[in-house]
Amino acid sequence: MLKIDDLHVSVDGTEIIKGLSLEVKPGEVHAIMGPNGAGKSTLASTLAGRDAYEVTAGSVHYAGKDLLALAPHERAGEGIFLGFQYPVEIPGVSNLNFLRTALNAQRRYRGEPELNGADFMKLAKDKAKDLEMSLDMLKRFVNVGFSGGEKKRNEMVQMAVLDPKLAILDETDSGLDIDALKTVSQGINALRGSDRAILLITHYQRLLDYVVPDHVHVLADGRIVRSGGKDLAHELEAQGYAAAVA
Amino acid sequence: MAATAETREQVDEATGDYKYGFVTEIESDFAPKGLNEDIVRFISEKKGEPQWMLDWRLKAYRAWLKMTEPQWAMLDIPPIDYQDAYYYAAPKQQGDGPKSLDEVDPELLRTYEKLGIPLEEQKVLAGVEGAPKVAVDAVFDSVSVATTFRAELEKAGVIFMSISEAIREYPDLVRKYLGSVVPIRDNFFACLNSAVFSDGTFVYIPEGVRCPMELSTYFRINAENTGQFERTLIVADAGSYVSYLEGCTAPQRDENQLHAAVVELVALDDAEIKYSTVQNWYPGDKDGKGGIYNFVTKRGLCKGKRSKISWTQVETGSAITWKYPSCVLQGDESVGEFYSVAVTNNRQQADTGTKMIHQGRNTRSRIISKGISAGRSNNTYRGLVRVQAGASGVRNFTQCDSLLMGDQCGAHTVPYIESRNPGAQIEHEATTSKISEDQMFYCLQRGLDEEAAVEMVVNGFAKEVMQQLPMEFAVEAQKLLGISLEGSVG
Ligand SMILES: Nc1ncnc2c1ncn2[C@@H]1O[C@H](COP(=O)(O)OP(=O)(O)O)[C@@H](O)[C@H]1O
Ligand SMILES: [Mg+2]
């Protein structure tokens, strides 16, 4: 589903990702862990096609396509969703309007019919309910005045409505209390399926108690330095990154 | 855009040939080029105007000769040769326009398409020969709409007609109010308009009547093609209400260079006028060639107690915009509002804002201005809040926000505050920001293409103003913001 080969990425002329390879198959959940500044968010942004992230070498294939040749919105249309580490506020734009515009843009891209207002509302309400987000919150401006936890839950509502094939979740667990963590985990687990994949970027193994990964990778200094099964997360938790990486 | 340039050339050629021919061929219907007293007399006579109207025009013309163009705006205006223009020639008449849609600037057609304007109506807007002169049936699939609304208005006693008709049919009303808000000598462009105005709209709402529908020039003008010197006069008698929509939201191709309209509003006791504009005249090409000079004087007089005038404008077109819809708050407790979104892209220049003149006691005004600059454009908010000595209990709130796209454009805020009453509460807030790369990427990542992302973020920025627009306008105006800013990021 996703195949990253010897990827090198520079930001402002500084190399951040320094030869990273990773293969994700349909149905799999991969956790990517690593210390601050390792390049986890850089990897996520690169996969989503953010402007300033310059791929200097390597390749990325997604669903048989050369991912790097696609514009960001095309990648979204192809089913890639990025859960932002820091979700962005858009004053003056309601969550509902934002989400409906996004969903219909993706559907148009895929040649599917657009969802009408009533059908969309039903979908959005259902998904929001699952994630304990009120209709009032949906009517408010995108992330404006939301707490850290609310922003993360809002990301999950968006994900649920957009129903991606590959979700890249960048520290979706950070800043959540235990109840919110459980809710968000449910949201992630609901997306699991044989034709989908999830890339779970996280700092703590806590989330992995709820969303159990098939593979765990340690990212340090722009490379994957170790890979293993779900037990690797516990090892990291017990010994710290430095020991695990050494 | 070679194809575009080529097409434009073709259209120009056709139009040029026509101009050459029309003076000789259909002489009686068109005044020759240039401006002098005979032209003013010609216009007046063509319209079958009474003597007082001709005298008024001549007075204006003579005053205009002694005036000079205003220089204070932050605009770079190329010299205009006032003798090198037609003052009585209806543009886009038979023989003037392109022969078919194939001859129309494809970029313009693309815009129409995006706005979801049906093909038949596109022809009307582009001035294609043989297109129906009445847009109403093209838009609404029924001529009866026009008939129904006319009957309904008549029943309510509302007068809604061209100003030429009104001068003939309601001379006393027109004479009483024409020039009472924007005097003949107000400024260079208004004075010119007073001398040569070709047509425009007259609205009168009788006492206590709530106008049963939104009035729109769109309904009235479709058959007439008003020229470049429109004159609009709206009088709301005591306790009445009217909401007026100016122009149509669709872009209009217009070869004319100068567009100098005058709009006067009068609200008597407890009356309310809501005036909304979506201005999308041809802005010129990417290099600043062509485009409309939009030099418009709009002013409302809150003459009566507790009267209210509210201006809402979405300005996306024109090469140069010089426009300050204002309120003179004469009646005690009257209210003036100004909500504005001004978008400039490429080489466009806009110097726009408002004047709130507080004369009466306990008068209030509110100014919300959102400027969006892109490309190499320049966008200035210029606003005056004046409080006269006797006006106690005055309150004003002004919010001016500027959004910059790219680093080659300019945004300026020029607020003037003149208060002769120390008790006045005047608040002014201003912000300038760049369009956020984070916001853009967030939208792109969710599947919006660049254009849709800009539209989304910019409409959010302009929300406070956009939500003032009547429903009929809101959706198209939202799309327009996106279209106007096309190509301004990335
Ligand atoms: N936009 C940027 N400009 C310059 N440096 C950046 C930018 N984004 C990230 N970096 C740098 O790249 C490195 C990796 O950052 P990041 O990918 O955010 O790490 P992580 O998400 O693993 O904490 C850090 O040293 C960070 O300072
Ligand atoms: Mg990070």
What tens digit of pLDDT does each residue of A176-198 get? 889 889 999 999 999 998 999 99
Between the CA of A18 and the centroid of ligand 1 the distance, in Å, is 13
Interchain proximity B457–A109, CB inside 8 Å? no
Cβ neighbour number for residue B422 with a 10 Å cutoff: 8
In this predicted model, what pLDDT tens digit does every residue of B274-301 receive, in sequence order?
999 887 777 777 776 777 788 899 999 9
Between the CA of A29 and the centroid of ligand 2 the distance, in Å, is 19
Q: Is A115 on the interface with B (CB under 8 A)?
A: no
Coil, strand or helix at B375: coil
8 A C-beta contact, residue B278 and residue B312: no
Of chain B, the percentage scoring pLDDT greater than 90 comes to 45
- Dihedral sign of CA atoms A181, A215, A199, A57 in order: positive
A40 lines ligand 1 (CB under 6 A): yes
Between the CA of B362 and the centroid of ligand 2 the distance, in Å, is 55
Distance of alpha carbon B37 from alpha carbon B83, whole angstroms: 12
Q: Is A242 on the interface with B (CB under 8 A)?
A: no
Question: What length is written for chain A?
Answer: 246
Q: What residues in B contact A87, CB-CB < 8 Å?
A: 442
**pLDDT category, A246, cuts 50, 70, 90?**
low
Per-residue confidence (pLDDT) for residue B456, from 0 to 100: 93
Domain that holds residue A51: 2-245
In this predicted model, what pLDDT tens digit does every residue of B343-353 receive, in sequence order?
888 888 888 89
Checking if the pLDDT of B124 tops 80, the result is no
Interchain proximity A72–B460, CB inside 8 Å? no
Closest residue, chain B, to A93 (C-alpha): B460
Between the CA of A54 and the centroid of ligand 1 the distance, in Å, is 13
| Structure tokens that stand for B314 in this block | 């979405």
- Which one of A51, A76, A91 has the shortest CB-CB distance to B447? A76
- This prediction's pTM: 0.82
- Which one of A73, A109, A158 has the shortest CB-CB distance to B444? A73
A212 lines ligand 1 (CB under 6 A): no
**pLDDT category, B254, cuts 50, 70, 90?**
very low
Closest CA of chain A from B473, distance in Å: 18
Checking if the pLDDT of B20 tops 60, the result is no
CATH code of the domain covering residue A152: 3.40.50.300
Coil, strand or helix at B401: strand
Interchain proximity A88–B442, CB inside 8 Å? yes
Interchain proximity A93–B463, CB inside 8 Å? yes
Shortest-distance ligand to the CA of residue A18: 1
Total domain count, chain A: 1
Checking if the pLDDT of B133 tops 50, the result is no
Distance of alpha carbon A5 from alpha carbon A2, whole angstroms: 10
Phi, psi values for residue A12, rounded to 5°: 50, 40
- Which one of B442, B447, B461 has the shortest CB-CB distance to A105? B447
Per-residue confidence (pLDDT) for residue B102, from 0 to 100: 67
Checking if the pLDDT of B248 tops 70, the result is no
Q: What is the mean pLDDT of chain B?
A: 80
Interchain proximity B461–A77, CB inside 8 Å? no
Closest CA of chain B from A9, distance in Å: 18
Question: Could you tell me which residue, A200 or A239, shows the higher pLDDT?
Answer: A200
Question: Which atom, in ligand 1's list, is nearest to the CA of A42?
Answer: 17
8 A C-beta contact, residue B349 and residue B373: no
Closest residue, chain B, to A89 (C-alpha): B439
Distance of alpha carbon B84 from alpha carbon B82, whole angstroms: 5
How many alpha carbons fall within 13 Å on the CB side of residue A35?
Answer: 12
Between the CA of A38 and the centroid of ligand 2 the distance, in Å, is 8
Interchain proximity B438–A162, CB inside 8 Å? no
Question: Which atom, in ligand 1's list, is nearest to the CA of A52?
Answer: 1
